[in-house]
Structure 1
Amino acid sequence: MLPSSGSSKSSKPPSQLTKFLVCGLGSLGQHCVAVLKDYGVAVSAIDLILPQNWEVPELPNLLDDLAIGDCRQAAILEQVKIRECRSILLVTSDERGNTEAAFAARLLNPDIRLILRSDKQNLNQLLSQNLGNFVAFEPSQLSAAAFALAALGDQTLGYFNLEGQLLRVVKYQIKPGDRWCDRWWVHGLNTRNRRILSHTANFSPLPKQFYEWEPEARVRAGDTIVYIEVASSSYSQQAKASSVKQQLHQAVRQGIWHHLKQYISQFWQWTYQYQTRRVAVLCCFTVLILVVCGTILFRWEYPEINLQDAFNATATLLLGGYGDLFGDIKPETPLSFGLQVFSLALALAGTAFIGVLYALLIDLLLTSRFHFSSRPPIPQQDHIVLIGLGRLGQRVATLLQEFKQSIAGISNTELDPGILPQMPLVVDNIVSALSKIHLENAKSAIVITEDDLENLEIGLMVHAANSDVGVIIHSYDQHFRDQVARLFPYAQVLCASALSAEVFAAAAFGENVLSLFHFNNTTVLVTEYFIETGDTLNGLMLSEVAYGYAVVPILYQHDKHESVKFMPAQETRLYVGDRLIVLATSLSLQRIERGEMAPRCWQVQIEKALNQDAVFDGANAIALISGCSLAIARKLMNNLPATLPQPLYHHQAQHLVWELSKVQVTAHLTALKDSNSV
């Protein structure tokens, strides 16, 4: 989840202003400029000194104006025409400087939108309430989720919480025998709690945008489906339950002994982590054997005594009571010489084990006394290795612990005991540390040091040590990231600055970005809209918003006093005051900002209706799904065969054909010859 940005609904700056100001041209600032220029707006920048390293090589040519100086000074802000700017992005590494510059900018331009780089969440909340039109983010928090999710190596691509409901994005490969396999069309997988984001047949290239899939495609084994779901009613939970059931059946078939050996092996590995554990287990096991043997021998030698008396005699000997049984006074029941020797052995063994017990207790007390400075042992298998524990690395580790993942860290320097105290840690040279981290049994490795080349070197070393380990590499340079990703396809290379910049840029246009995740090398933003007069979304149906701008509506609320609707119906029409949350790429947000909808390229030809009820119901379906007036729809249905004059999007038109077939109306799609028809 992204940090709170204060007030979720704030007045937007005048939309006619198309000039934006970026203060700070570090890695984040440069990427912010590049993303903003993709929106087609004018961008100016301020920095204390002229950057020596342009991570975005063409950036000097992208800037409309560049001022060298302190962005906290009114004269410098006036130099780049702050009064004409719609938003200012304060992304220097100095949080105090960012805050002071925000005050100066607001004094010069009361309507300007403030986007701040800051980790002081409480202060940010207070500033948002008092200043208004203000939002603050911390880059490591923005990008940490992408690194953590990439390291999981399972089906989960993203997760976020909306209105107390956990939503997650799942990538799932269809297997033979799955309940979806060979039984469903792709469009049939959409439900009230699920939306399909992507479907690719076996060996097909992955799409870059939503809705690049064929609705009538049959789900086959080997296909890959990406979908978002409300987790409480997830197919994945059902699949997990089914998987557990299959594992139970498999356990019965393979026999209990196989699993018992596995549990014993795991227990022995647990005792191996600390030698004292193994000593304690051996002592307990030996004492148990001696108690059983002693009880049996006493009962066998003297059948007239009961089991309790035999056990008491054995326990007395083990607790050092040899003198109580064989002192100056002879026992009433004479013992055989062999049993007396065994009794002496019991007494000696008991004395030795009591000494060991005292030693273990003292060791335990001493260990617990200094437990505050100790860390857990390195996991043996199925763990995630985190190399580099700076600000971003620590945030990633925290998220992985929240995911209940087994992790182990590597650092060149010792961490403060209060930082991630429950994380196993190896403090050593990274090359040496890799041999101590059980890399051969690890699930994945995240490399987040301060140097791109070092990250690449370590990533290659990890892959050479174990080619099955998932490798996630952090890069500060987007160009370097693209090259490495193409040359080493087994590695996931993420640029934290590029990920964060998309959120900062979207916020500059007044959008409230709630979360983000990585999907097919594209950043997807969970973005919240409040529909206002003049918005490009006002008056549109959700089907037009979805297919026209390539976004996925996942939450709709007509009024703040009404309940929210997850995965809302496509026929819902937006009005002023409505709240809408969508999944969108940066390109989609740019198109919404400019009002550039994709062309409608399909028409529906209606052939016949089987009866009069079909004519009535068909007209209702046409008006509801296409958005045309009911009068036009009834006129059309009374003059069949006919073609709906209003062009539609492919998925929208296909949906209309399906609904018409349900009410016994025959129809089919035709592509417009002029693909630019609107």
Structure 2
Amino acid sequence: MAPTPLSAPGASCPREGPVLICGLGSLGQACLLRLLPFDVPLRCLDRRRPDWRDPRLEERFGSSLALGDMRLPHVLSQAGVGTARAVLLLSSESTVNVEAALQVRLLNPTADLVVRSSGQLASLGALLEERLPGVAVVDPLLLTAGAITEALRPGDQEACFRVDGESYLVVEGSDPARRQQRALRHDGENPVRSLQVVPMGSHHHRSAEAVPATTARGRWLALRRGLGAPLRLWRQCSRLQQAGLLVILVLLTLGLALFSAGGGWRQGVFVTLALLLGEYVDPVNVMLPPGDGIAAASPWLIGVTLLYALIGTLLTSALVAVILERLLRESFGLGRPGRFRRGSRWILLAEGEELAERVAGNLVRDGLQVLRIDPRPGPVLQRPGMVVVPRWEAALAALRPCRLEGIGLLSVDLLANLQETFQLQKAWPEARYVILSHAVEAAEQLGDLLGGMAVISSMDLVADAVVATAFGERVEEICRIDGANHLLVRYRIQQGDALWGLNLSRVEQGYGVTTIHLLRPGRRSPLVLPSLDLVLAAGDQLVVLATLAQLRRVELGCPVPPGWRLRLQGAPREEGRFEALQSLARHLGGAPGAMDPLLDGKEHLTPALDRELAEQLAEDLRRQGLHCTVEAVAVAEAAASEGLRP
């Protein structure tokens, strides 16, 4: 393994130049508020003077605001686009943003461009990103899909996200039984809760009353559950289905009693089943005495068998109709959904169009059943796990016997969403309710005020992603965790940037981010929650979970110095000396031969380390017979010790 320098070799200074924000609507002003603490020069451009939502913005930018059409070259030049390091094109009209992006690229070939777009221009946005380097197209609604999915998904997890086909959960508390877990880094020094990132599949819900199946009680409980399965199925059926099953059972019993005369129970079974399948002549001939013919048939035999045959015809016709309706609905998206199975669990999504499609896809991928209300005209192809209906009435009628896990109201009309929520809470008070709001301040407090529903402000979420993209990051998803927006960001490591040459412990401890995923060149499978002593090299792709402030710290290249050191004394056993030298070299950075003076039997203090690496190194050295203790070091001393490495 390559040496692990603890400083940031090749850490480049952040790019200079102002950030130009074009379009000062709700999203533009939200981005301005987030950029104020970052101490970067800011410039603003809008077609007309905006309605300022915060007096701080009006005080700072009211007099220096450039006015004009962002698509015109002279207006952009007047706003300072030529020297800008990043340009945010945030007009509510996507076509204006795209036209302005082409003009900005002509005037400034190196600036990072963030273009606000909508679902209708998704294909054009993808082409722009391919053809023009440094252009990122952002759809505000689609970026909120992750947060809405998390609010609707049942379970005790705080969040769930997906990276390169691998799914991860954020759960509360550390479990020693988990094979892989990583503490989620917080901005504060004393987090209120301990949250862990774990791969999906390693987190299981265990009952405190679980009984081993090998014990006598466990076998009895398993037998009782098996015997109770038919009863549970019976309870899940609707009243109409229960009545139909009872009628069929009565007909079978009565038929066995009536048609067994003269031929035994085998004749009764044959004749009863044949009649209930809609047959008539053949089963009646079986019951006639040989040689007598139809003249020997009694009136009761003709009447009862005819009644059975008519009932059987109705049953077979109903079965064919159900099968045909199911095939048409699942294969071609035709037909109306009937009542779902009693007690089945569903999630309801109303309107939202592209956003609802993205959220529904996320939920179906995780094995949940989704019913969408999409009033748009035209045929809609159904897919396994998801049903689409055009009207509220059809959805509510189908869901009446079901259990709703979550209800997402994704219309842009906040008042309409609230009205529907209050009505639905009467029928399904235990469901999770998620309301989409275009731009509402203090959305979480509003949700608590209205009775525990989740109010998600798309502008609040997207502003963090837009600002991070302006600094050159690529945001793949937004997770709402513990009241803060955590961005899932992919870094492509290049030689000389701020993360190149650092081990993952230094990345986490220095910048406060949580490392999730590492994809190395030449490897097909990624490293899930990679080891913290791994060193980042050029070509690596590192996915981290971080807040906007943590990402800004990476962009500035100013990590927090390590704050721990190791006090060691003694000499290792001869057979373990080489392994001890390797451990010191791997954790401290340097050649194994340069670590030999630390093993001369005297007391030594190592240079500053991150706590995880210091504890890991101490454990390795104790196994070789050395006496080691981990001690905290002052920040100033830690910074000074950076130049005293062996």
- Provide TM-score, normalisation by structure 2: 0.80
Q: 1: distance between equivalents of 2:93 and 2:421?
A: 31
Aligned to 1:161: 163
Percent identity over the alignment is 22
Secondary structure, counterpart of 1:604 in structure 2:
strand
Secondary structure, counterpart of 2:387 in structure 1:
coil
Q: 2: distance between equivalents of 1:52 and 1:294?
A: 86
Aligned to 1:95: 94
2:454 to 468, 483, 492: 492
Change (3 A) 1:307 1:537: closer
**Could you tell me which amino acid in structure 2 is paired with residue 668 of structure 1?**
T
Aligned to 1:228: 198
Q: 2: distance between equivalents of 1:130 and 1:17?
A: 25
Q: 2: distance between equivalents of 1:536 and 1:236?
A: 34
Structure 1: gaps spanning 5 or more residues: 1-12, 175-179, 199-206, 215-222, 301-305
Aligned to 2:544: 582
**Could you tell me which amino acid in structure 1 is paired with residue 167 of structure 2?**
L
Aligned pairs for 1:288-367 within 5 A: 288-300=252-264, 307=266, 311=270, 315=274, 319-321=279-281, 332=291, 340=298, 342-353=300-311, 356-357=314-315, 360=318
Aligned pairs for 1:29-108 within 5 A: 29-52=28-51, 54=53, 58-61=56-59, 63=61, 65-108=64-107
Contact 1:462 1:469 in 2 (8 A): no
**Could you tell me which amino acid in structure 2 is paired with residue 148 of structure 1?**
T
Aligned to 1:448: 410
**Could you tell me which amino acid in structure 2 is paired with residue 473 of structure 1?**
I
**Could you tell me which amino acid in structure 1 is paired with residue 485 of structure 2?**
T
Q: 2: distance between equivalents of 1:333 and 1:494?
A: 81
Change (3 A) 1:46 1:419: farther
- Cα distance, 1:550 vs structure 2: 1.4
Contact 1:607 1:667 in 2 (8 A): yes
Secondary structure, counterpart of 1:383 in structure 2:
strand
Contact 1:280 1:360 in 2 (8 A): no
Contact 1:398 1:420 in 2 (8 A): no
**Could you tell me which amino acid in structure 2 is paired with residue 197 of structure 1?**
A
Q: 2: distance between equivalents of 1:325 and 1:639?
A: 105
Aligned pairs for 1:233-632 within 5 A: 234-236=201-203, 251-266=221-236, 268-269=237-238, 284-285=248-249, 288-300=252-264, 307=266, 311=270, 315=274, 319-321=279-281, 332=291, 340=298, 342-353=300-311, 356-357=314-315, 360=318, 374-377=335-338, 379=340, 380-381=342-343, 382-409=345-372, 416-418=378-380, 422-423=386-387, 425=389, 427-428=391-392, 438=400, 441-456=403-418, 459=421, 468-477=430-439, 479-484=441-446, 487=449, 490-557=452-519, 559=521, 564-609=526-571, 611-613=573-575, 616-627=578-589, 630=592
Q: 1: distance between equivalents of 2:228 and 2:432?
A: 29
- Cα distance, 1:631 vs structure 2: 5.3
Q: 2: distance between equivalents of 1:374 and 1:107?
A: 53
| Residue-by-residue CA offset, 1:427-472 (whole Å, 9 max, x unaligned) | 359xx99898549932222233324455456556656765533233
2:186 to 198, 204, 208: 208
Q: 2: distance between equivalents of 1:309 and 1:621?
A: 83
| Residue-by-residue CA offset, 1:311-366 (whole Å, 9 max, x unaligned) | 35994797444997599x996469999x9354133223134325635864796699
Secondary structure, counterpart of 1:603 in structure 2:
strand
- Cα distance, 1:100 vs structure 2: 0.9
Aligned to 1:649: 610
**Could you tell me which amino acid in structure 2 is paired with residue 311 of structure 1?**
F
Q: 2: distance between equivalents of 1:674 and 1:312?
A: 92
Q: 1: distance between equivalents of 2:424 and 2:162?
A: 31
Contact 2:71 2:100 in 1 (8 A): yes
1:196 maps onto 2:182 in alignment: yes
Change (3 A) 1:249 1:47: farther
**Could you tell me which amino acid in structure 2 is paired with residue 128 of structure 1?**
E
Secondary structure, counterpart of 2:144 in structure 1:
helix
Contact 1:197 1:226 in 2 (8 A): yes
Q: 2: distance between equivalents of 1:367 and 1:361?
A: 10
- Cα distance, 1:647 vs structure 2: 1.6
Structure 2: gaps spanning 5 or more residues: 1-11, 640-646
Secondary structure, counterpart of 2:167 in structure 1:
strand
1:662 to 623, 628, 633: 623
Q: 1: distance between equivalents of 2:433 and 2:269?
A: 62
- Cα distance, 1:106 vs structure 2: 0.7
**Could you tell me which amino acid in structure 2 is paired with residue 81 of structure 1?**
G
| Residue-by-residue CA offset, 1:484-515 (whole Å, 9 max, x unaligned) | 25646844332222222222222222222233
| Residue-by-residue CA offset, 1:32-57 (whole Å, 9 max, x unaligned) | 33333343322323333333363x66
Greater mean alpha carbon deviation, residues 489-498 or residues 501-510: 489-498
Contact 2:256 2:268 in 1 (8 A): no
Contact 1:322 1:347 in 2 (8 A): no
Looking at both structures, which has the greater relative contact order when contacts are Cα pairs under 8 Å and sequence separation is at least 6? 2
Secondary structure, counterpart of 2:262 in structure 1:
helix
- Cα distance, 1:142 vs structure 2: 1.4
Q: 2: distance between equivalents of 1:103 and 1:351?
A: 75
Change (3 A) 1:86 1:652: same
- Cα distance, 1:535 vs structure 2: 1.6
Q: 2: distance between equivalents of 1:281 and 1:28?
A: 58
Secondary structure, counterpart of 1:51 in structure 2:
coil
Q: 2: distance between equivalents of 1:438 and 1:560?
A: 53
**Could you tell me which amino acid in structure 2 is paired with residue 160 of structure 1?**
R
Change (3 A) 1:309 1:485: closer
Change (3 A) 1:383 1:617: same
Q: 1: distance between equivalents of 2:153 and 2:173?
A: 16
Q: 1: distance between equivalents of 2:269 and 2:350?
A: 59
**Could you tell me which amino acid in structure 1 is paired with residue 363 of structure 2?**
L
Q: 2: distance between equivalents of 1:489 and 1:310?
A: 59
Contact 1:196 1:226 in 2 (8 A): yes
**Could you tell me which amino acid in structure 1 is paired with residue 533 of structure 2?**
E
Aligned to 1:220: none
Secondary structure, counterpart of 1:442 in structure 2:
strand
Greater mean alpha carbon deviation, residues 59-68 or residues 256-265: 59-68
Change (3 A) 1:594 1:15: closer
| Residue-by-residue CA offset, 1:598-622 (whole Å, 9 max, x unaligned) | 2322222114345345555434322
Greater mean alpha carbon deviation, residues 75-84 or residues 93-102: 93-102
Secondary structure, counterpart of 1:443 in structure 2:
strand
Change (3 A) 1:103 1:659: same
Aligned pairs for 1:141-156 within 5 A: 141-155=142-156
Change (3 A) 1:533 1:167: same
Contact 1:599 1:677 in 2 (8 A): yes
| Residue-by-residue CA offset, 1:60-102 (whole Å, 9 max, x unaligned) | 3465953333211112211211001112222323222221111
Secondary structure, counterpart of 2:443 in structure 1:
helix
Q: 2: distance between equivalents of 1:114 and 1:138?
A: 14
Secondary structure, counterpart of 1:450 in structure 2:
coil
- Provide TM-score, normalisation by structure 1: 0.76
